[in-house]
Structure 1
Amino acid sequence: MASITQTAQAFFETCEFGGGWQGCAAYCHPDASFACQADALGDVRTLQAYTEWMKGLLGFMPDGRYTLKSFAADETRHNVVAFATFHGSHTGEGGPMPPTGKHTDTDYVHVMDFDGEKIRHMTKIWNDGRAIRELGWAG
């Protein structure tokens, strides 16, 4: 039996490398929810939709990668927190506009809440406005 830390690590890596729901589903409840107070993800309400959003993002930001800065489990509250910086350039086709060639280094936090051995909800904390401006998608 994997610990919540091991499960969260496997999910995080799979999600952040564009594994989509196909790669991430084994770590999550089928109806796992998602929340983020960022306009770019305003319509995303399920973890399945978020994992597919990340997969799509990496399609037009093919150099996308992350630097993990902190990873911690809170056994009492049954959650795991990951703090990372996403690095990527809009060089591929797709996304909100033609490739801008611009780059972002954007910090974010994932809080993965568990029910048993699987993720039941994830909250993403992210300043999407800054990333969008750095990528040249807004003024």
Structure 2
Amino acid sequence: MNALDVAVKFFHACESAEGWSGCRDYAAADATFHSCAPSYRGMETLNDYCEQVAGAFQTTFAGSAYELVASAHDAATDTVIVQGLSLAEHTGDGGPVPPTRIRARIPFVYSMQMGPDNKIAHVEKIYDEASSRRQLGWPVD
């Protein structure tokens, strides 16, 4: 598979709440993760990120959906950019307030640095967490 195909398959596995077991075939075992969003503070491995997403979509946001908006591969830097839209509804426990049943449209971008084996070496998640929290009816820190 080429880099773009690998990254898009990872995107679908991650956003479908498959956890690390569904995502690991597309990433290096030691793949790293970073995001400036406060909810990801201290999270450094892609494994941990995938598990957190799976947990959130199985509890706090059960029944939510996502869309793939766009994807592209920059061959010069071996970076794949994937833009997604989370259609998250706060349906279960795990948020800072009881379930609001509010549905939010949360745009985000994954910038994925690919390794020489066309597996993901690093993911940078870019999104506006404060806006997401406001849409869900959550307090903004």
Q: Per the shorter chain, which TM-score range?
A: over 0.9
Instruction: Tell me the secondary structure at the aligned position of residue 26 of structure 1.
Output: helix
For residues 34-60 of structure 1, give each alpha carbon's deviation from its aligned partner in whole angstroms, at most 9, with x where no partner exists: 111111111211111110111011022
- 2:110 corresponds in structure 1 to 110
- 2:33 corresponds in structure 1 to 34
Identical pairs, percent: 32
Which sections of structure 1, spanning at least 5 residues, go unmatched? none
TM-score norm. by structure 2 comes to: 0.92
TM-score norm. by structure 1 comes to: 0.93
In the alignment, does 2:64 pair up with 1:64? yes
For residues 1-51 of structure 1, give each alpha carbon's deviation from its aligned partner in whole angstroms, at most 9, with x where no partner exists: x10111111111000100100111111111111111111111211111110
1:94 Cα deviation from its structure 2 partner: 2.8
- 2:133 corresponds in structure 1 to 132
CA RMSD of aligned residues (A): 1.2
Does the CA-based 8 Å contact 1:96-1:137 persist in structure 2?
yes
Which sections of structure 2, spanning at least 5 residues, go unmatched? none
Q: Extract structure 1 runs of 4+ deviating beyond 6 A.
A: none
Cα distance in structure 1, aligned partners of 2:85 and 2:20? 22
Instruction: Tell me the secondary structure at the aligned position of residue 69 of structure 1.
Output: strand
Does the CA-based 8 Å contact 1:85-1:105 persist in structure 2?
yes
Instruction: Tell me the secondary structure at the aligned position of residue 99 of structure 1.
Output: coil
Instruction: Tell me the secondary structure at the aligned position of residue 139 of structure 2.
Output: coil
